[in-house]
Amino acid sequence: MNDILYAPWRDEYVTNEKIEGCVFCHISSSQECDDEELHVLYRDAHCFIVMNRYPYTPGHFMIIPHLHTDKLEELPSQTWLHMSDLAQKSVRLLKEGFGAQGVNIGMNLGKVAGAGIAEHVHLHLVPRWKRDTNFMTSVALSRVYSTDFIKIYQKIKSLIPEYIG
């Protein structure tokens, strides 16, 4: 049995220049003209929404405050409430606009809790469909991403004005 998986979409992860410092702060401080390159779906004074570049399922994105903190308990209440409002609107977008049958929402606070980027809090929204966990995910501990990332980004970005504003 061959245990090498070919995943050309991960090539960028290995060969790309690494961002110095916090990747989320880099995206937050970038100009809006960079949004497509960085896969930003939305931004306002408190938060931005960005596609997860290495998603669990197609359409997985994150709501991230501009404020750099790893402590949810220190996030200003106004920012947390705004993130919650965006989460509600995003769930509607994923269900009605993107056709998700369910949505997982979650935060991993701290490296030991599973945060890949532990230094900056962020809220994951993961669209789900019946039978989206398959043999590869369950047995081989690998994910199969069956559709083009950029097409998904463009589809969700086109839904932002209708569902989020």
Taking only the tens place, the pLDDT of each residue in 3-20 is 444 444 444 544 556 678
76-132: per-residue pLDDT in tens?
999 999 999 999 999 999 999 999 999 999 999 999 998 989 999 999 999 999 877
Burial 22-38, CB ≥16 within 10 A → b, else e: ebbbebbeeeeeebeeb
Neighbour order of strands in the sheet with 40-43: 40-43, 47-51, 61-65, 123-128, 102-106
pTM of the predicted model as reported, rounded to 2 decimal places? 0.82
Which residue has better confidence, 165 or 73?
73
Q: What confidence score (pLDDT) does residue 105 get?
A: 96
φ, ψ at 127 (rounded to 5°): -65, 145
The neighbour count for residue 80, using CB atoms within 10 Å, is 16
Report whether pLDDT(138) > 50: no
CATH number given to 8-163: 3.30.428.10
Burial 53-68, CB ≥16 within 10 A → b, else e: bebbbbbbbbbbbbee
Of 15-19, 44-48, 63-67, the one with minimum mean pLDDT is: 15-19
Which residue has better confidence, 138 or 66?
66
